[in-house]
Amino acid sequence: MSFLKEIQRRRTFGIISHPDAGKTTLTEKLLLFGGAIQEAGAVKSNKIKKGATSDFMEIERQRGISVATSVLAFEYNGIKVNILDTPGHKDFAEDTFRTLTAVDSVIVVIDVAKGVEEQTEKLVEVCRMRKIPMIVFINKLDREGKDAFDLLDEVEQKLGLSVTPLSFPIGMGYDFKGIYNIWEKNINLFSGDSRKNIEETIHVSDLSSDDLDTLIGEQSANELRDNLELVEGVYPEFNKDDYLNGNLQPVFFGSALNNFGVRELLDCFVEIAPKPRPKESEERLIKPDENKFTGFVFKIHANMDPNHRDRLAFIKIVSGTFERNKPYLHVRNNKKMKFSSPNAFFAEKKQIVDISYPGDIVGLHDTGNFKIGDTLTEGEQINYRGIPSFSPEHFRYINNADPLKSKQLYKGIDQLMDEGVAQLFTLELNGRKIIGTVGALQYEVIQYRLEHEYGAKCTYENLNVFKACWVDPEEVLTDEYKEFVRVKQRFLAKDKQNQLVFLADSAFSLQMTQQKYPSIKFHFTSEFN
Ligand code: G4P
């Protein structure tokens, strides 16, 4: 197959949702359609079970599973589908944000009873800002939930989206009869039997015909006619360009658990979802069909075996082909590297591959050369951007609890930060190290991993920080800037990239500082120019 055809047949996406909305279940059903797995239950949930915050075995189990499910690939109707896993737990939200830099589109799963939940709001906001095309899947229609129109309103209002339903439910919960597929103009009747109902698609060419009444009963038929009329009147007609530009989000209804409405979603997805898209680098826009390979690291996973400290760096291929044993430039280190065993992912297996195409993810064994955001090329100086750090929510001093192991401790901290587990800040005043995280769970993960993988012990000390604010560097030092640095020295730190950060201890003090030093610009993410 030609290079261009290979690009055109790839769809790389992520599924995002609030925990429990049905992401794992939907992923599994998609894999079943792709023939990538044979039975339900094969995809392990990577979520951390409730109440397991201090259960380290649970954290390790979760890490093991998340290697296996980092990328799930399958073929469907000649299309190569790559699903990138995104952790739903809020403490790992930053992982999800980074993975979103490697997807070309997303599917948002919403629970019909719970509606739009907190984590969905945060993740969709990131996708909206980046104009990532989104399809919404409203799940669990076999249960009682909110009215479909109310839900569509909620999605528009809370998520700031502009939706158009491409399918519509007939009844719900106990009365759930099936789904009218607006996209394909047919009805899929729900029998409650997940093995049977896949085939039961009935084409409906004329909604006003009596056949519809016979099929689903007069009352349901009239309700459906009314609802579809309302849909047509209220929502814009589906337009692929609007969807691809992030301006319109099609909505599907279904029940992942019952494998209902999933085939319709998948059929539409492979038809409309974007093929690998061009990506902006600091230097220029890179197109997938360029001959020369470029790619970037969006995730690093430590080896589960503490005796081998090698890691797996996940690279998204942006342009050209990635070939085994070919030398590539590691741009940040300015070093040529060859990879003899790049891994590709197929369902839950990984295997060594000779060649991979744009949209694909390869896993490279790494002994500590890679950081999140690193770029590989055939020689061109290109730096992909768009993997910013957000201000952490929690801050703690990290102390060395075993003076004989300080080298191990610093090496461990360094590598865990490269993996993106948390952020490190070093106080300007005394060099003390502060770990900033999105959730409290990360502190336990770090402590556990430092001990088990690096043989180092640490303790934490609370620190009152409201927000980390990155300070715009000054080329010419103004008096105001000098005064700011002098007066606020106690609150200033450097991040791992040596950027100056102001650790404001309260919203009030941040506001006062901004007022007092109006010429200094503060940013709430690490990437601002
Ligand atoms: P997540 O990855 O988004 O966190 O959600 P997951 O797929 O694990 O689903 C969360 C729970 O919702 C699971 O039940 C799952 O079986 C259920 N579920 C998913 N889709 C549907 C659906 O369409 N209808 C109904 N009724 N339930 C659905 P659980 O009891 O928490 O887990 P399990 O014991 O079944 O694994």
- 161 C-alpha to ligand 1 centroid (Å): 25
Of 271, 158, 179, residue with least CA distance to 224: 179
If one counts every other C-beta atom within 10 angstroms of the C-beta of residue 101, the result is: 21
The domain boundary, picked from 213, 246, 272, lies at 272
Handedness of CA 22, 247, 104, 181 (dihedral sign): positive
Element (H, E) at 267: helix 262-272
The domain boundary, picked from 272, 290, 309, lies at 272
288 lines ligand 1 (CB under 6 A): no
Are the C-beta atoms of residues 239 and 248 closer than 8 Å to each other?
yes
Cα gap 36→321, rounded to integer Å: 24
166 lines ligand 1 (CB under 6 A): no
Counting from 1 in the atom list of ligand 1, the atom nearest the Cα of 46 is 2
Query: Is 89 a member of any domain?
Result: yes
Q: 451: domain CATH number?
A: 3.30.70.3280
3-class SS of residue 100: coil
Query: Is 387 a member of any domain?
Result: no
22 lines ligand 1 (CB under 6 A): yes
Cα gap 102→130, rounded to integer Å: 12
Please tell me whether 178 is known to bind a ligand: no
Of 104, 79, 85, residue with least CA distance to 8: 79
- 136 C-alpha to ligand 1 centroid (Å): 17
> What averages of pLDDT result for each successive group of 10 residues across the chain (529 residues)?
94 93 91 73 57 54 63 91 83 82 96 94 90 97 94 96 96 88 86 55 79 87 94 95 97 93 93 95 95 94 68 94 96 95 79 94 90 94 80 93 93 88 93 91 88 92 93 85 93 92 94 94 75
Do residues 401 and 505 share a domain? yes
Are the C-beta atoms of residues 396 and 440 closer than 8 Å to each other?
no
Please tell me whether 24 is known to bind a ligand: yes
DSSP 224: H
CA angle 257–261–267, rounded 5-degree value: 125
Counting from 1 in the atom list of ligand 1, the atom nearest the Cα of 254 is 23
Query: Is 386 a member of any domain?
Result: no
Do residues 311 and 453 share a domain? no
Please tell me whether 85 is known to bind a ligand: yes
Within 13 Å of residue 306, how many CA atoms lie on the same side as its CB? 11
Please tell me whether 457 is known to bind a ligand: no
- 363 C-alpha to ligand 1 centroid (Å): 29
Ligand 1, from 25, 29, 108: best to mutate by most atoms within 8 Å of Cβ? 25
* Predicted pLDDT at 188: 85
Are the C-beta atoms of residues 259 and 198 closer than 8 Å to each other?
yes
Query: Is 382 a member of any domain?
Result: no
Do residues 414 and 502 share a domain? yes
Do residues 365 and 478 share a domain? no
* Predicted pLDDT at 367: 85
Cα gap 358→381, rounded to integer Å: 19
The 3 state secondary structure assigned to 414-430 is: HHHHHCCCCEEEEECCC
Cα gap 376→397, rounded to integer Å: 34
DSSP 384: B
Please tell me whether 86 is known to bind a ligand: yes
- Owner of token pair 């709430």: 524
Give me the interface pTM, i.e. the ipTM. Answer: 0.97
The number of domains in the chain is 3
Do residues 311 and 228 share a domain? no
Please tell me whether 141 is known to bind a ligand: yes
Of 317, 323, 321, 327, residue with least CA distance to 292: 321
* Predicted pLDDT at 38: 64
Do residues 477 and 362 share a domain? no
Do residues 69 and 203 share a domain? yes
Do residues 73 and 130 share a domain? yes
- 36 C-alpha to ligand 1 centroid (Å): 20
DSSP 281: B
Task: Encode pLDDT of 178-205 as tens digits.
Answer: 999 998 888 888 876 654 445 467 777 7
* Predicted pLDDT at 53: 44
Pairing of strands 335-337, 328-330: antiparallel
Q: What's the distance, CA 276 to chain centroid?
A: 16
Ligand 1, from 15, 20, 47, 108: best to mutate by most atoms within 8 Å of Cβ? 20
Counting from 1 in the atom list of ligand 1, the atom nearest the Cα of 139 is 23
3-class SS of residue 139: strand
Do residues 332 and 474 share a domain? no
Measured by CA distance, the residue closest to atom 32 of ligand 1 is 20
145 lines ligand 1 (CB under 6 A): no
Are the C-beta atoms of residues 92 and 444 closer than 8 Å to each other?
no
Are the C-beta atoms of residues 491 and 428 closer than 8 Å to each other?
no
Query: Is 486 a member of any domain?
Result: yes
Pairing of strands 522-523, 467-471: antiparallel
The domain boundary, picked from 272, 300, 319, lies at 272
46 lines ligand 1 (CB under 6 A): no
* Predicted pLDDT at 174: 85
Query: Is 403 a member of any domain?
Result: yes
Are the C-beta atoms of residues 403 and 440 closer than 8 Å to each other?
no
Please tell me whether 267 is known to bind a ligand: no
Do residues 62 and 182 share a domain? yes
Query: Is 484 a member of any domain?
Result: yes
Cα gap 98→437, rounded to integer Å: 15
Cα gap 377→331, rounded to integer Å: 7
| Domain region containing 245 | 3-272
Do residues 419 and 517 share a domain? yes
Do residues 348 and 211 share a domain? no
Query: Is 385 a member of any domain?
Result: no
Q: 189: domain CATH number?
A: 3.40.50.300
- Owner of token pair 């992942």: 256
